[in-house]
Amino acid sequence: MSAELRDVRLSSSTDPGAAQLTLYLSSQTVHQFFSLDHPDRVVIDLKNTRQAPGLRAPEGTGPVETVRFGVRPKGVLRVVLQLKSAMPVRANWSAPAGNAGAQLVIDLGNQIAGEAREGAPSVPKSVRAMHAPIDSDRDVVVAVDAGHGGQDPGATGRKGTREKDVVLAIARALADRINSEPGMRAVLTRPNDQFFTLRERIQRARVAKADLFVSVHADSIRNPDVSGASVYVLSERGATDEAARWLAERENAADLMGGVSLTDKDNTLASVLLDLSQSANISASMVAAEGVLSALDRVGEVRKPRVQQAGFVVLKSPDIPSMLVETAYISNPAEEARLKTTSHQSKLANAIFSGLRSYFERNPPPGTRFASLRRTTVASVTSDPARP
Ligand SMILES: [Zn+2]
């Protein structure tokens, strides 16, 4: 049986350091909650719960900056409160008299922000706020690479829209979306209108210890009728050429094989090792890219229904799964116009994000929050609804 989240109310009391969030559900369900920092957030997961059609998250107030809903796998509805600063949290179920529903009341701050409604005493249950071990897990890091920049404008649309500007806006929106997700963190390889070589972009991703690299572009072609998105990963040929280059520069390859140096290996062994790493990396890139492509397909037009492979230099990290997203054709007048709007930019960013998140959910890097959420069941809290 599943519950429905029908209403959400947020109130802040006269004490600026306290607030109360009430979740109105059709029936009681199992909930889990935990806190995260950087930024400070409280995450409430409701099992077997769906959001009522048209239900919107309330605006932030008092110590609560924003409230967001998110749909998680296996029917879990997530509510994320972003806070101005960390504060104590308590959660209690209450069952209002004469009403079939149930309420989950989240109190933030030291003071309880409101008394229980008349005739509906809130019966406190012992609920533990979960901090560890989740906080000790590292975030997955995504290197978000806005194509071109500085003296390199990239492609230019008929109306003069420059690729470097729209892809920077999309990349920033993508980074913001990633940073608002618990367990994920973004690094922009070029945070502003600056020029970096392709190798510098790869290097910046390596320094940030990125788990994934995504380069954001807008395509161009002579025929103005061509439109739609495409996603690329490195081709085998591109990988082979790159292997030759790494082998030629043995010293640079020293940090490549997870600390296994190539300098003391003979040529055959070194190339076998590098080859293994590269094939695994192309497969991982392909899986991640397929997720992004199908998410893009849901929000608009896709030019080619399959992930493409090419020898683009920016995809050549031998050990960081990498993809290049051509978000649209800037040479197509309709797509050029759309690319300039913030609403379309965030639509594209959200689609790329959801592809990346589902990749990490299925392929969590060890030591990350995605990995522990998969492995351990966070102690969950059940309690009987208080009966009047
Ligand atoms: Zn480009």
Distance between Cα 218 and ligand 1 center (Å) = 5
On whether the pTM is more than 0.85, the answer is no
Distance between Cα 152 and ligand 1 center (Å) = 10
Q: How many whole angstroms separate alpha carbon 9 and alpha carbon 23?
A: 7
Distance between Cα 277 and ligand 1 center (Å) = 27
Amino acid at 60: G
Q: Sort residue 356 into left (φ over 0), alpha (ψ -120 to 50) or beta.
A: alpha
Q: Sort residue 56 into left (φ over 0), alpha (ψ -120 to 50) or beta.
A: beta
Strands of the chain, DSSP E: 3-12, 19-25, 31-36, 41-46, 49-51, 64-72, 76-83, 89-94, 102-108, 140-146, 184-188, 212-219, 230-234, 308-310, 322-329
In the predicted structure, residue 250 carries a pLDDT above the cut 60: no
Distance in Å from the first CA to the final CA of the chain = 23
How many CB atoms are closer than 10 A to CB 197?
11
Q: Sort residue 43 into left (φ over 0), alpha (ψ -120 to 50) or beta.
A: beta
Distance between Cα 206 and ligand 1 center (Å) = 21
Inter-residue contact 182 to 35 (CB < 8 Å): no
Distance between Cα 214 and ligand 1 center (Å) = 13
Q: What is the pLDDT of residue 254?
A: 44
In the predicted structure, residue 134 carries a pLDDT above the cut 60: no
Distance between Cα 324 and ligand 1 center (Å) = 9
Q: What is the pLDDT of residue 129?
A: 36
165-174, 250-259, 302-311: which range is least confident on average? 250-259
Distance between Cα 156 and ligand 1 center (Å) = 10
Q: For 323-374, how does the pLDDT look when each residue is reduced to its tens digit (9 = 90+)?
A: 999 999 999 999 999 999 999 999 999 999 999 999 999 999 988 989 888 7
Report, as an integer, the average pLDDT of 22-29: 86
Amino acid at 298: R
Distance between Cα 386 and ligand 1 center (Å) = 59
- Nearest in space to 143 (alpha carbons), one of 197, 207, 192, 214: 214
233 versus 257: the higher-pLDDT residue is 233
179 versus 118: the higher-pLDDT residue is 179
Q: What is the pLDDT of residue 356?
A: 96
Distance between Cα 208 and ligand 1 center (Å) = 23
Distance between Cα 210 and ligand 1 center (Å) = 21
Distance between Cα 163 and ligand 1 center (Å) = 7
Structure tokens at 327: 């978000």
Q: How many whole angstroms separate alpha carbon 76 and alpha carbon 83?
A: 22
Q: What is the pLDDT of residue 133?
A: 36
- Residue 261 binned pLDDT confidence (cut-offs 50, 70, 90): low
Q: How many whole angstroms separate alpha carbon 285 and alpha carbon 379?
A: 34
- Residue 274 binned pLDDT confidence (cut-offs 50, 70, 90): low
Q: How many whole angstroms separate alpha carbon 186 and alpha carbon 171?
A: 10
Q: What is the pLDDT of residue 15?
A: 66
| Mean pLDDT rounded to a whole number for the chain | 81
Distance between Cα 276 and ligand 1 center (Å) = 29
77 versus 132: the higher-pLDDT residue is 77
- Nearest in space to 322 (alpha carbons), one of 228, 258, 242: 242
How many CB atoms are closer than 10 A to CB 57?
15
Task: List Cα–Cα distances, 120 to 77, 112, 148, 385, in angstroms.
Answer: 25, 16, 60, 12
Q: How many whole angstroms separate alpha carbon 273 and alpha carbon 87?
A: 49
- The listed range with the strongest mean pLDDT (70-74, 159-163, 241-245, 370-374) is 159-163
55 versus 136: the higher-pLDDT residue is 55
Distance between Cα 107 and ligand 1 center (Å) = 48
- The listed range with the strongest mean pLDDT (47-56, 61-70, 269-278, 325-334) is 325-334
In the predicted structure, residue 96 carries a pLDDT above the cut 60: yes
Distance between Cα 257 and ligand 1 center (Å) = 30
Q: Say which residue the tokens 């997720």 belong to.
A: 291
In the predicted structure, residue 107 carries a pLDDT above the cut 60: yes
- Residue 1 binned pLDDT confidence (cut-offs 50, 70, 90): low
Distance between Cα 41 and ligand 1 center (Å) = 36
Distance between Cα 231 and ligand 1 center (Å) = 12
Distance between Cα 148 and ligand 1 center (Å) = 6
Distance between Cα 155 and ligand 1 center (Å) = 6
Q: How many whole angstroms separate alpha carbon 161 and alpha carbon 174?
A: 20
86-95, 153-162, 261-270, 322-331: which range is least confident on average? 261-270
Distance between Cα 179 and ligand 1 center (Å) = 24
Query: Where do the H-state alpha helices sit in the chain?
Result: 163-179, 198-207, 236-248, 267-299, 333-339, 342-362, 369-375
In the predicted structure, residue 46 carries a pLDDT above the cut 70: yes
Report, as an integer, the average pLDDT of 183-200: 92
Distance between Cα 234 and ligand 1 center (Å) = 15
Q: What is the pLDDT of residue 332?
A: 96
- Residue 384 binned pLDDT confidence (cut-offs 50, 70, 90): very low
Distance between Cα 215 and ligand 1 center (Å) = 9
144 versus 301: the higher-pLDDT residue is 144
Distance between Cα 174 and ligand 1 center (Å) = 17
Distance between Cα 303 and ligand 1 center (Å) = 16
Distance between Cα 51 and ligand 1 center (Å) = 39
At what angle are helices 236-248 and 267-299 packed, to 10 degrees?
A: 140
Q: What is the pLDDT of residue 127?
A: 33
Q: What is the pLDDT of residue 270?
A: 64
Distance between Cα 225 and ligand 1 center (Å) = 19
Q: For 197-222, how does the pLDDT look when each residue is reduced to its tens digit (9 = 90+)?
A: 888 899 899 889 999 999 999 999 99
